[in-house]
């Protein structure tokens, strides 16, 4: 009788452990599915760092990797739904580095408005970025690149 009780307790303990592990795995999978996404580079604007067709890992939970900083690569969604992958070079209230000045930047007074970022592609000659479209509202930032093909940020 005592052996049967011990055997039943062991089975119950194994079942409990299995359920706990399954729950933890499920929560981690859910967290990953909700906070990470694969994005594909489209076009030459981020060459040589990333080439068209490269797959990158973007996180919307970029606070896990630190807030967005100068030099980070971010994914931006434009009002038309198009995704842009660009590098951050200045934040709201900061002066745009002179090497990125265009007539539009000059009209902005060379300053990035509060609540915005100034982004450029690594391939300046073939990138549509803040030099042409202006500073990007932070609300347009979908996430931060944290891994993938090419030279990582």
Domain regions of the chain by residue span: 36-148
Instruction: Yes or no: say if 31 and 122 are a contact pair by the CB < 8 Å rule.
Output: no
What CATH number does domain 36-148 carry, 2.10.109.10, 3.30.420.40, 1.10.10.10, 3.10.20.30? 2.10.109.10
Averaged pLDDT, groups of 10, the chain, 153 residues long: 76 90 90 88 94 93 85 94 95 96 92 97 96 96 85 45
Question: Which residues contact residue 110 at a Cβ distance below 8 angstroms, ignoring those fewer than 6 apart?
Answer: 95, 96, 98, 101
Quick one: which of 68, 119, 132, 128 has its CA closest to 90?
119
Instruction: Verify whether residue 52 is a known catalytic residue.
Output: no
Given 51, 52, 86, 130, the catalytic residue: 86
Distance (Å, whole) CA 143 – CA 146: 9
Distances (CA, A) of 93 to 104, 111, 117: 17, 6, 9
Whether 86 sits among the annotated catalytic residues: the reply is yes
Catalytic residue among 45, 127, 130, 144: 45
Tell me the C-alpha distance between 51 and 70, whole Å.
21
């Amino acid at each position: 009788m005592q052996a049967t009780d011990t055997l039943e307790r062991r089975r119950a303990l194994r079942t409990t452990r299995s359920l706990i592990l399954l729950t933890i795995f499920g929560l981690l999978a859910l967290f990953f599915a909700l906070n990470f996404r694969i994005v594909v580079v489209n076009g030459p604007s981020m060459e040589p760092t990333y080439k068209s067709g490269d797959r990158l890992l973007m996180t919307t939970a970029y606070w896990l990797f630190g807030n967005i900083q100068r030099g980070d690569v971010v994914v931006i969604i434009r009002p038309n739904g198009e995704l842009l992958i660009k590098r951050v070079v200045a934040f709201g209230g900061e002066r745009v580095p002179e090497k990125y000045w265009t007539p539009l930047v000059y009209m902005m007074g060379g300053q990035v408005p509060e609540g915005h970022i100034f982004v450029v592609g690594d391939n300046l000659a073939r990138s549509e970025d803040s030099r042409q479209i202006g500073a990007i509202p932070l609300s347009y930032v979908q996430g931060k690149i944290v891994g993938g093909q090419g030279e990582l940020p």
